[in-house]
A = this chain, B = another copy of it.
Amino acid sequence: MEYRKIKDEDEDRDPVVEDVEKSFSLSGAVQDNNLTSGGETKIDSHRTKAKWKRKSVVTLALTILTSSQAILIVWSKRAGKYEYSVTTANFLVETLKCAISLVALGRIWKREGVNEDNRLTTTLDEVIVYPIPAALYLVKNLLQYYIFAYVDAPGYQILKNLNIISTGVLYRIMLKRRLSEIQWAAFVLLTAGCTTAQLNSNSDHVLQTPFQGWVMAIVMALLSGFAGVYTEAIIKKRPSRNINVQNFWLYVFGMCFNSVAMLVQDFDAVMNKGFFHGYSFITVLMIFNHALSGIAVSMVMKYADNIVKVYSTSVAMLLTAVVSVFLFGFHLSLAFFLGTVVVSVAIYLHSAGKIQR
């Protein structure tokens, strides 16, 4: 499989920095890569800092966008039922992401001119893998309708934490990246902590989930984890390729799959009531939020990885609950407090357990 190519890539190696290095060498400047002069050390530390900063910014953006997304969902639920067609909203999210990527690309072209890395045209070889994540997500979303025959909604929320484990396992297997033993322990804790934080008096129902329900939950977790890890593999396969081009192609296929879903599920509703039927201010907000979150996820895949994504969305889940206390007068449970402690320790351990290279 092609995505195995990146298996030996250093985890701390930055693709963009690597490109900069390459162009340095190509320019023919007298530079010995083995020489560690004072100047180079300075450049190295500058690079590490810039890399760390960018990684932090995209992770923070993802965390904030994901938690505000959950808050918007609660808000929209309080405001009443969904009156609009969900498939049209999903289609618009993909379209908006495409548009944002194109605008960003336009600015880059203006500044840097069109080159090998930022041109929109592509080869079949490059583009052929881009529909796969979108297809996987579609299958997962279809399964979602069936799992509710076996599990109720709060139970489903708890089973969704299996995603964390599946992402970790697939990340290890598909991308051949290593986590230290401490980091694995942290990942188990992250799963347990998130689940603990979501416990309520009805949570024990989930233990009565029938066998088919468990199988479906595990299949869905694997699909979701696979889609995430596969997206990372695609994006990281060509480190020098501009992220906006990669996003554009990912989202074009997202638009295709979503327009099919729209035609199948909501053709009549759209034809009779109109495309924007039932849209409100909050619907527009949610579409913008989903689009930006989607782009943030891509950025995290490019500059960090799936593991960082999972930690980020877990923190977002906790953040949402805390913010909901102030916004909607929610109460925090002892279980939430304990789960937060466990997740915090997991985050600490993930960073403390970093493999020394």
Chain A 172-229 interface residues, beta-carbon cutoff 8 Å to B: 181-182, 185, 188-189, 192-193, 195-196, 199, 201, 203-204, 206-207
Q: Does A333 contact B (CB under 8 A)?
A: yes
Interface with B: A103-111, A291-299, A345-353, which one?
A345-353
A334 interfacial contact with B, CB 8 Å: yes
Given A195-B338, A342-B192, A342-B342: A333 touches B185 (CB 8 Å cut-off) = no
Separation in Å of the A275 CB from the closest CB of chain B? 43
Of the listed residues A188, A189, A331, A338, the one surrounded by the most CB atoms of chain B closer than 10 A to its CB is A338
> Would you call A100 an interface residue if the criterion is a C-beta within 8 Å of the partner chain's C-beta atoms?
no
Report B-chain residues with C-beta under 8 Å of the C-beta of A352: 181-182, 185
Contact pick for A199, options B182, B189, B193, B199, CB 8 Å: B199
A129 at the interface (CB under 8 A from B): no
Could you tell me the dominant secondary structure of chain A's interface residues?
Answer: helix
Most buried by B among A193, A334, A349: A334
B182 engages A333 (CB within 8 Å): no
Interface flags, A54-96, vs B, CB<8A=1, else 0: 0000000000000000000000000000000000000000000
- Determine the chain B residues whose CB is within 8 A of the CB of A335 once the complex forms: 196, 199, 203, 335
Kindly identify, within residues 326 to 357 of chain A, every residue whose CB is under 8 Å from any CB belonging to chain B: 331, 333-335, 338-339, 341-342, 345, 348-349, 352
Q: Are A345 and B199 in contact (CB under 8 A)?
A: no
A-B complex: 8 closest residue pairs judged by Cβ atoms? A201-B201, A192-B341, A192-B338, A196-B338, A185-B345, A203-B334, A192-B342, A204-B333
Complex Cα distance, B10 from A339, in Å, reads 36
In Å, the complex CA distance between A201 and B339 comes to: 16
Q: Identify 14 new A-B residue pairs, CB closer than 8 A, beyond the known A196-B338, A342-B342.
A: A158-B334, A185-B345, A185-B349, A188-B345, A192-B342, A192-B345, A195-B338, A196-B196, A196-B342, A199-B338, A203-B335, A204-B331, A206-B334, A207-B333
